[in-house]
Amino acid sequence: MAEIVSGKVVSAKVREKIKGDVASFYKKHGRAPGLAVIMVGNNPASAVYVRNKHKACLEVGITSYEITFDENISEEELLAKIRELNADSSVDGILVQLPLPKHISEERVIETISSVKDVDAFHPENVGKIMIGNYTFLPCTPAGVIELLEHYNVQVEGKKCVIIGRSNIVGKPMAHLLLERNGTVTVCHSRTRELREIAKEADILVVAIGRANFVTADMVKPGAVVIDVGINRLSDGKLAGDVDFSSVEPVASLITPVPGGVGPMTITMLLKNTLSAAKMHENNR
């Protein structure tokens, strides 16, 4: 039976440390770090994420500015708000909750956020910096996975790492972070042939595809570390990961549950990035 990773426990530990660092920051600079979260429309899943981010900020002492716009806001109005926040010295981090309505270009929105306030690390400048290993911010979900691996003493060096999913926000940066830690990395996607066989070679298997219970025991090498990034809402309202937990748990050595695995780490890394941004802004004043 695998050891079950507790994202809740690790995340509580990291948040405790962030809370202490935020208090020291406040003492030194007379202000709290600030995060602005913009939401457009009323997608219920986005609303839950935004609420959780707000709550997490308050818990560690980060000032959170929630900005909500009607679904019909024009792209120009949204970009104007972002430019205003770029210029506001009480705001260290800016996050625009995705997805956005069709008439607004996500690309233009991301590129308008100042790269030094881009705490999601989606701006092309930050993506480029990650590629060359000289980064300011790491994208929250892959960074959270790395933090979990470190906490559970999983050595990446020399290991066969297989990532299923190649999105810009999870799969691709995940591949880079594992490569940077000297893993031998394979990235799979919807056109991969023999996915099953490739997955089964992995010492560390990271799954981020958005298909409930896709990875079954026959795709997992005995003793593998299995990280499930997926969050899928089933028809009965329950959440499921991309990994079929009940069949894979007996095969793996370490496994993340859904919920309670990678999920809590994502917001924790957002808090960490906001604090880093605030320190950087104070150093550059």
Residues marked active site are found at 53, 97, 120
**Residue numbers 264-283 binding ligand NDP by CB under 6 A:** 266
Cis peptide before 99 (omega within 30 of 0): yes
105, 114, 184, 232: residue in contact with ligand NDP (rule CB under 6 A): 232
What tokens were used for 149?
Answer: 């691996």
d(CA 57, CA 33): 9
Dihedral of the CA atoms 164, 169, 173, 174 (nearest 10)?
-40
Choice between 73 and 264, CB closer to ligand NDP: 264
The least CB distance from residue 83 to ligand NDP, in Å, is 27
The least CB distance from residue 77 to ligand NDP, in Å, is 26
Burial (CB < 10 A; 0-12, 13-18, 19+), residue 88, is: middle
Question: For residue 60, what are the contacts with CB-CB under 8 A and spacing of at least 6?
Answer: 15, 18, 19, 22, 271
Cis peptide before 259 (omega within 30 of 0): yes
- What sign does the CA torsion over 126, 230, 56, 152 have? negative
141, 213, 268, 274: residue in contact with ligand NDP (rule CB under 6 A): 141
22, 56, 174, 262: residue in contact with ligand NDP (rule CB under 6 A): 262
Position of minimal CB gap to ligand NDP: 167
Choice between 32 and 165, CB closer to ligand NDP: 165
Binding flags for ligand NDP, 162-191, as an x/- string (CB under 6 A): --xxxx-xxx----------------xxxx
> What value does the CA radius of gyration of the chain take, rounded to a whole number of Å?
19
The least CB distance from residue 91 to ligand NDP, in Å, is 23
Interaction site with ligand NDP (CB under 6 A):
141, 164-167, 169-171, 188-192, 195, 208-211, 229-232, 262-263, 266
